[in-house]
Structure 1
């Protein structure tokens, strides 16, 4: 139901956009995935053969897991309620009173919600997502992302200079930096002279230089300038 395409990197310019649509979908997807795995370590393992359930106590679910479920559901509900209250009439329908329905609603309406959600609400979602990940025993995302970027940086340092289509170069740049980006933004940067481009005489007809795209991503990230991931 949810598809994670980039890594959430926190809110950009507060007071203008708390987060762009791509990053918001990613954050919601990561939260939904982590919450769904909270009870995984405590679920009974399937038996090799069908047996009648035996009476007796089962392994208890720890209180911190139950508390995290409650806090997560309450946080998501409050975020949705804030959006609906602050922007009456912006949505024809709101989600059902269920955390899964609310997360689905946030993901489906991310393009509109990204302009409405506050930086505080984004931070609250990020906090409960990290808490769910930790309790579910999932790998530390920051360490995973850092390792991936380090490996890609090492590969790029010894590889020939990379040129690719706007879609491909966008995917490579996002993998390298973790910064959301839209392929139309790559084309726009090339027209502005920020990214080198070349005609191929084949398909794709135009390719863009990866190192320029990454440099522009990092420059804008340092300035807290949105990278146009909504245009992907």
Structure 2
């Protein structure tokens, strides 16, 4: 379970209808945090959550969501959305020969550009007088230094680009928000729609339930310090190589 005594007053989860996002929203609400829960539908099953609508490919919807939060701004923001397999069934490329420009564009739009637009509109809402965290789900395969087998070109590249943006945001935000932390989070392999097509060959015990993944990530977030800002951390709290 997550650490008792959650230090956050309000949280905004962008992607609260997905497996990890929904579990994060639930865990935070259970610990007494007021939760903004964002999804494309703009609805939430739990009436305790403050539902809002957003679409990663629609900046106006992100700006509107941030505007709605202005009078009750979050001190924790998690972008818990992303894509590995596209809606048409296109999965990660195993070879450069399979790269398709349109598919790559969509992967970057959802995994890199969308989270960057969320940051653009919500980072100014973070408090300047106390600790705050902006986190986005990343992936170990976005590490250039840890890449041993290649492949998955669009997904790897989109996460590597996201990691660079998070580093940039950490540097810039640190100039005005001295207690703010920006980080990427690698949740491991979670039993969700994103990983479902790739679960068949996983070793026993490697698949994590969304609720357990949420607990892991919230514990990592709880332990982050300003010195960690700009880094990417796995579900155990260990730094992922750049």
TM-score by length of 2: 0.22
Task: Report the structure number with the largest CA radius of gyration.
Answer: 1
Larger helix percent: 1
Q: Quick one: higher RCO (CA 8 Å, sep 6+), 1 or 2? A: 1
Task: Pick the structure with more strand per residue.
Answer: 2
Task: State the TM-score, normalizing by the size of structure 1.
Answer: 0.23
